[in-house]
Structure 1
């Protein structure tokens, strides 16, 4: 009888540990199991080199969303970056999106600079004003070959 009580207590303890581990995995991995309260917009870039799916989208250093996918737009042959933003974040139609690097050799992320327009960017809208990432290899090549303006 004493053995059954001990086995039950150990089983409950292990079950609670597995539930806590699952909760921490979801929270630290920034996963949304129920979809969350988000809306989608996209941005067109000449180059989004180094930017990856799942990278953060920030406004003034505050995380406001994630990059959902990166595809090639068949009409313009530009990179279409689909963003998933929190519904609490309202963007104007003249917002500027730029690819930035965290630190010298850090990860790339997308920085949004709000505009001054009164017209909101609707769900499914396209951010037209974009700044591509600075390509260090291209800059060094221009400098080495004397093509710097």
Structure 2
């Protein structure tokens, strides 16, 4: 009888472990997004503070991609953000990128503001026209002092 209970416990443990592994794989796929085979682009930021791999890439409030990787370029000492967007998008060369928090409770995202250029960004292109996210302290200071820091 004890061998039967032990076999049942092992089977139940294996089932729980299998479900946990399946959920882990599903969660990882959700984190890295549904954009498979998209166009990879790069952006250079003074600071990528608050942005992480797997973060959403938004255009007009719609998710169009995911951040793939964030590294430091030792030559320029800028944050290099590699991201993938839907390959059906043809972003103008003068597009601007910013790090934003769509809501107060959501993770930061990369937001694309499309430019007006006729030429489109090629795969692997580097976007250098970027806007770093302002810290809460900077936003409050700009509101109180009208954008003038150090009073002059």
Show the 5 A alignment for 1:130-141. 130-138=130-138
Q: Identify the residue that residue 76 of structure 1 maps to in structure 2.
A: 76
The 3 A distance-change label for structure 1 pair 42 and 148 is farther
Contact 1:142 1:148 in 2 (8 A): no
How far is 1:43 from its partner?
0.2
Aligned partners of 1:76 and 1:124: how far apart in 2? 18
Once the two structures are superposed, residues 21-79 of structure 1 have per-residue CA deviations (whole angstroms, 9 ceiling, x without a partner) of 959x63894277xx822121100011111001100001001111000000111121111
Q: Deviations over 1:79-128 (max 9, x none)?
A: 11001111111111101000001222431001001110011100010012
State the partner residue of 1:9: none
Q: Distance in 2 between matches of 1:143 and 1:71?
A: 32
SS at match of 1:26: helix
Q: Is the 8 A contact 1:95 1:114 kept in 2?
A: yes
Please give the alpha-carbon distance, in whole angstroms, between the structure 2 residues aligned to 1:50 and 1:31.
16
TM-score by length of 1: 0.72
Structure 1 runs not aligned, ≥5 long: 1-17
Shift of 1:133: 0.5
SS across alignment from 1:30: helix
- 2:129 is the counterpart of 1:126: no
Contact 2:31 2:54 in 1 (8 A): no
Q: Where does residue 109 of structure 1 map in the other structure? A: 109
Paired positions, count: 132
> What is residue 85 of structure 2 aligned with on the other side?
85
**Which residue of structure 1 aligns with residue 7 of structure 2?**
none
In structure 2, stretches of 5+ residues that fail to align are: 1-17
